[in-house]
Structure formats: C-alpha cells, structure tokens
Structure 1
Amino acid sequence: MGEVLELDCVVIGGGVVGLAVARELAIAGREVVLLEAEPMTGSVTSSRNSEVIHAGLYYSTGSLKAELCVAGKRKLYDYCRERHIPHKRCGKLVVASSEAEVAYLEKLLKQAEANGVDDCSLIDSVELARLEPQITGFAALVSPSTGIIDSHRLMESYIADIEAHSGAIVLKSPVLGGELLSGAVRLSVGGRDPVEIEAKLVVNAAGLNAWAVSESILGLDRATVPERYYAKGCYFSLAGSAPAGRLIYPVPEPGGLGVHLTLDMAGQARFGPDVEWVETIDYDVDPRRADRFYAAIRRYWPALAEGALQPAYSGMRPKVMGPEAGGGGDFIIQGPDATGHPAYVALYGIESPGLTASMAIAERVRRLI
C-alpha cells in the first residue's frame, strides 16, 4: 500500500451546501480539504435550480427544512449585502386559480406564520390585478421576503472564504470508496493523482451522490442510509419580456411547488420545474413537455402566446421520499451519533430550499461535531 495522506477535515461535494459547510468549518479553525468529483464546483444540482431565496412558507413546522430555511434566509440576505453578491428581494405571489384553492392559501398563511415567517398576507383578485396586471386569480398570498440570487457569485464568495481561512478545494477528485477506522475515516480518492486519505472528520455533502458515497464506505451501518429517489424538473425560458415583476407560483403539486415563473438577475423569465420521477440521472429536456407547461402557466397568465416557451435546462432533486409518499421528506443531517461513527457526518435529501438554507445547514453541521 502506498503512502496515506493524513488530514484533519474532508468535505465531499463542492455544491453550494458542501462549499458552505467547508467555509463554516474553515472559519471555525478546522484544516479543511474539499473534494469535488467534477471539473468545476457547483456544476450539478447547484447550477440547475430556480436561484430563489425561499421565505420558508411550505415546510412542516418543526422540520429541518422549515427551521433552516427561515434561519438561512436571514443569514443569506445579510451575507449578500456584506459581500455585494447580486440578489433582489423581489417578493412572490402564490396564486389561487380557482375558488377551491383559496382555502389552501389560508392554510399556507397559517403555516408560514407557524414557521416564523411573519410578513405574508392574503390579497383579493382586485389587489392582485393592481400589483401584477397580467396575472389572474381568485386571490394570492404575498411573500415579500422571497427573492432571487446569483448562485454562481454566491459560490465564488464561499470559495474565497474557504481559501482565506487556509482551506483547499481539489477538483476532479471522486471518492471511490472508504473504510471507517477507530477514530478516523480512510478514503480512496480517484482522478489523475489517486490518493489514500485518512481524515479525523469526513462530511459527506455529495448531493445526488451522497448515497453512493456512504454505500462505498466499509463498516458503515447500511441502516443509517435512507431510501433514495430522484425527481427531475425541467425549465423552459420565455421569449420576450416577463409578464410580472415578482415571482409567480401556483398552488403546489406533489413533489414540487408547481410550474412557477421565476426571474433571473437580468429580469428574464423562466418557468419550471415540473416533476418527473425517474430512476436514472439525465438532463435532457423533452420539448414535448412544453404542452403541460402552457396549460399550467395559462391558469395564472392566460395571455401566454403559443410558441413562446423554449427548452432551457433541467435539474434533479435528491429526495428521501418517493411519489407514493407524496414526494415530501425532510433534510437528513446525520452527525456522529446518527451515523454511528465519531468521524463521519452525512447529508441526504438536500434539495430545495438547500441553497437558501446553505449557511444554516453548515452551522448545524458544525454544532453536530
């Protein structure tokens, strides 16, 4: 056996959450090395989402998603202001397209308040038409603290913080397997210069790949690894100007928040994601899926012209519950007590609102160790 590289702390996964965790641990004084399998950080799930700063409306009170989204949103807005990261607190409207859906909005308002989101309100169709003349509905819930962010600039800032605190990021370094030792974790790392690593702490923040990483580690109790499901979501971009200045959401569907209108920092509109439960990861966008998009969008924007939608991109949600369970499920953040090993921490099912919650997730990981 060749030489083994001894390290203090290894974070596996260079998406927005892995970067946030590495940043938090580096600032706390740990010697951090982040391993990313891809040639770039943030090139998988973190670059294939709506780039929305979520308020924390929908999640079950007491869940990690609710707690960490609300805490993470506050941290993220503060951080964006401090670091001059492009973002906009544009607000969002959740629109009831039928009278039956108004009851859902009333329930959602109570849910938001229970989660500590105290700035939401209900408006009627007259006020909706005044705020967004092209959007129609029976009523809407207004969420002023929802916003948008340039996620790539955010990740660049996290990287700058890691490097400023002597952390290192190593790209093209897939974890091929490992083994739990008495007080450390041995990792086999591939790439151009394969290496064996022994770390006093390993945080598995590998996103879609988190399950595979855990399953490749000898000595880890397989009962600690939850079920895995993939929910694919496609996005379509809009040719022409956006019909609203706020984000527009319908009443949610199982597995996602419904085909919504979101905006990028340049004000361009895109719609998505839909929900398709899949067995394998692929990012192709079938243009035929647009048929369902037109129908869904016209419920709140009837003037959408035929042919105005173009296939844009797709993303994959790593989920711990499947369609038969309604596609919900919470974040799973396992500290040493939950993984059964003092040097191993694992994160599963970190989907939306993972970007919003990234700094709060990182703080929780630090506390668990």
Structure 2
Amino acid sequence: MVARDGNQGAPDVETVVIGAGVVGLASARALAMAGHEVMVLERHGAIGQETSSRSSEVIHAGLYYPLDSLKARLCVEGRKLLYAFAEENGVPHVRYGKLVVATADDERPRLAALAAAARANGVTDVALLNAAEVQAREPEIRCAEALLSPSTGVIDSHALMVALEGHIRADAGSVVLNTSVEDIRIGPAGHFALATMSSGAPATLTCRNLVIAAGLGASRLGAKAVTASSTRYIPPRTYPARGHYYTLDGPTPFRHLVYPLPREGWLGIHLTLDIAGRARFGPDLEWQDEPSTVFDAEDGARLARFEQEIRRYWPGVPEHRLSPGYVGVRPKIYAEGEPSADFAIHAEREHGIPRLVALYGIESPGLTSSLAIGSYVATLLRP
C-alpha cells in the first residue's frame, strides 16, 4: 500500500476506519451507505479477532444504563436495528428472553429500580415475576423475584460481521487485513497521513476523514492524532478488563438467559445461551495492565468462584460439568473502583480535530449498539 505524498492534493481515500470489529464494520457500512468512499484497516488476519469475537453475543434490551446516556439511547435503538438487520440478512439469532433475578428478599428494591430504569429508557416490555412464575418458566432457577426482558436475545456475531463486510464491499468499500496503523500525522491541507505496516512493509495512506474504532488500541491511536495536532485534548485512557467464560457440558435445562442483579458496574456471572442452545457462564471481571486472552484456571480457584456465584440462582449446578471456554478483554475507560463510564464517541467538538471521530470504551452493549453507533458516526462526518 504505497500512497501519494498527498497532503498537498487529493487524499488516497476519502474515509478510513481503523478496526474491523463489529463497531468498525458497522461504522464503515453506515458511511458507505451515506456515500463515502471507505477503507477499513485491520491489523489482524481476519475481521473481529479481538473484543468482538470474545463476547456473550447477547442482544441487550437496554435495562441497565443511565437515562439519556449514549449507552441507553444507542442500545435501545441498536437492538431494534440489529434484529431487523439479522432478519433481512439471514444472520442467525434467537430471541430467548432474559430473567434478571433477585436471589433474596432484600434485593427486591434494586430489582424494582432496575425495572423503572428500563421503562424510562424505553424498554416497555419488561415485567416483574414472582418466584412461582419464574419456576414455571425455569424450574431449575431459585429466586425471590425476577425481571423478565422478552426482547433480549443472542446473535451469531461472526455471521453478523461477515454480513457487514459484505455490505461494505457491495458499496465499493474495502476491508484491508494484516495492516496496522503505527502513526497518525496531519498535513497542511488537513488530511490524515497514516503510517501503516503490512506484512513487514511500511507505507503511508492519506485520507480526508478518519474513524478510530480500534477497541483496545483506540487510546494509543487517539493520542497519536492529538500529538499531530495543536489541540490540548487528552484522550480517555483504556483499562483492559479480562473476563473468563465457562461452558456447560451436555444438555442445558434452561430456555432463557439468566442474570443476577448487577453490582458496581458489573453484570455478574450470568448464564447465556448461544444460537444452538448451548449454555455458558461468565464473564468474571479481572483488571489488567496489559490485555491477555490466556485462560487462567488458577488451579481450580476460578472454577470454585464461578460455581459459588452460579449457585446463588442455580443451586443444582452439577459438579464436573463446567469446562474452560474462552477469555474476552473489554476496553474500559474507567479504572477499578471508579464509576462505570458511558461510551465516549468524540468528534471535533470534543477534541478540536476536524473530520476525526474516535470511539473509546465501546464495551457492552457495543455489539447491540453497533448499527446505531455506525449511524451516529456517519452523522458526525456529514459533508
């Protein structure tokens, strides 16, 4: 990829999106639909190899997020868009519904508050169920009360990303793999000059518009863009947080997703089902200095903690049926012990750099919100 020394004239491409996870691909699709010439750069050899391929694949309803936050608005909008996109494009998905359980009477006020917050966010189909009503739906679950969210489901995230990539290419866009962005400069004409590395070969690519949707690498790239400008803006710092998943061997007795009540910005060890009905539990929450997807069983201590958490709502969890699954790393923009943060989608108003949109802290519900985030990014880069 050898580019012109193009900051004096026309750039090589109109719009570059850095990162081919679900949010980068959704943003590129929305931009291509809006008429942009789009190129997506991905440092890995396939799309969605970091955060997007290591999640619970849940389509969230929008229960948990503060009123009028980006997470609340984009999750509720994105959920509707995602179900419609999946139907139209044959992306496998299942609307299982979710039970958020209060495992003791003293948790009931928090459950009622969650129901009220959900309705305020526009999630109008939630309902409180008593213990007998929960047992009728899920005989293995024990709780004092539960909140039913019928619009929660799961989706095949890989099939979703393949479909998004297909839309990008159909609109004359491109997705370039094995290409990392090492540096960002800004030329006299205001074009971005991206120093790239592809299969060991350095090159420079120029563009008029730039979207940083690089997940765990967003803060590093945002800092490089700021260094190239005269702004005093400081990008949010990314704090990697690892989460382990265990899979349930053999058949599952459940028909719904099951979540404990959230606490301290963490949704707890929850039960999810994939599109084939297989059960998995997780993630836990482990803050890191550097991201790692290596599964650390801690000589059985991690499994013991999982089983203890699961027994709060499934007392009959059998021994020796949980196997190590996989590890995901979430790009959080708040440190351990701090309040959870909203999505940070920063454009010129925030950082002072024209035609740059940088996305930080796009963790859950990023998958659910992806199409709505893409549309929002496209509005920020209107001509």
Give the alignment's TM-score, normalised by structure 2.
Answer: 0.94
One of 376, 380, 383 as aligned partner of 1:364: 376
One of 38, 50, 68 as aligned partner of 1:62: 68
One of 286, 301, 313 as aligned partner of 2:314: 301
Is residue 313 of structure 1 aligned with residue 336 of structure 2? Answer: no
**Residue 186 (structure 1) aligns with:** 193
Q: CA separation of 1:145/1:2 partners in 2, compared to 1, >3 Å: closer, same or farther?
A: closer
One of 311, 323, 337 as aligned partner of 1:324: 337
**Residue 4 (structure 1) aligns with:** 5
Is residue 256 of structure 1 aligned with residue 266 of structure 2? Answer: yes
CA distance in 2, matches of 1:366, 1:213: 20
**Residue 234 (structure 1) aligns with:** 244
Q: What displacement does 1:228 show? A: 2.0
One of 214, 219, 225 as aligned partner of 2:228: 219
Conserved 8 A contact 2:15-2:39? yes
Conserved 8 A contact 2:233-2:352? no
CA distance in 2, matches of 1:360, 1:348: 16
Q: What displacement does 1:2 show? A: 7.5
**Residue 244 (structure 1) aligns with:** 254
Is residue 176 of structure 1 aligned with residue 182 of structure 2? Answer: yes
**Residue 204 (structure 1) aligns with:** 212
SS in 2 for 1:223: coil
Q: CA separation of 1:296/1:222 partners in 2, compared to 1, >3 Å: closer, same or farther?
A: farther
Conserved 8 A contact 1:174-1:189? yes
CA distance in 1, matches of 2:286, 2:124: 33
**Residue 9 (structure 2) aligns with:** none
Is residue 136 of structure 1 aligned with residue 142 of structure 2? Answer: yes
CA distance in 2, matches of 1:147, 1:209: 29
CA distance in 2, matches of 1:85, 1:63: 28
Is residue 47 of structure 1 aligned with residue 25 of structure 2? Answer: no
- What CA deviation, in whole Å up to 9, does each residue of 1:6-64 have, x standing for no partner? 21110000000000000111111110010000011101100000000000000000100
**Residue 77 (structure 1) aligns with:** 83
What is the letter of the counterpart of residue 184 of structure 1?
H
Gaps of 5+ in 2: 7-11
Gaps of 5+ in 1: none
CA distance in 1, matches of 2:30, 2:3: 32
**Residue 18 (structure 1) aligns with:** 24
Q: Which range moves more in the overlay, 214-223 or 245-254?
A: 214-223
**Residue 285 (structure 1) aligns with:** 295
CA distance in 1, matches of 2:185, 2:347: 17
Name the count of aligned residue pairs. 368
Report the aligned-residue RMSD: 1.4
CA distance in 1, matches of 2:338, 2:205: 39
Q: Structure 1 vs Structure 2: percent identity of aligned residues?
A: 46
Conserved 8 A contact 2:240-2:289? yes
Q: CA separation of 1:255/1:315 partners in 2, compared to 1, >3 Å: closer, same or farther?
A: farther
CA distance in 2, matches of 1:334, 1:268: 38
Conserved 8 A contact 1:4-1:195? no
**Residue 339 (structure 1) aligns with:** 351
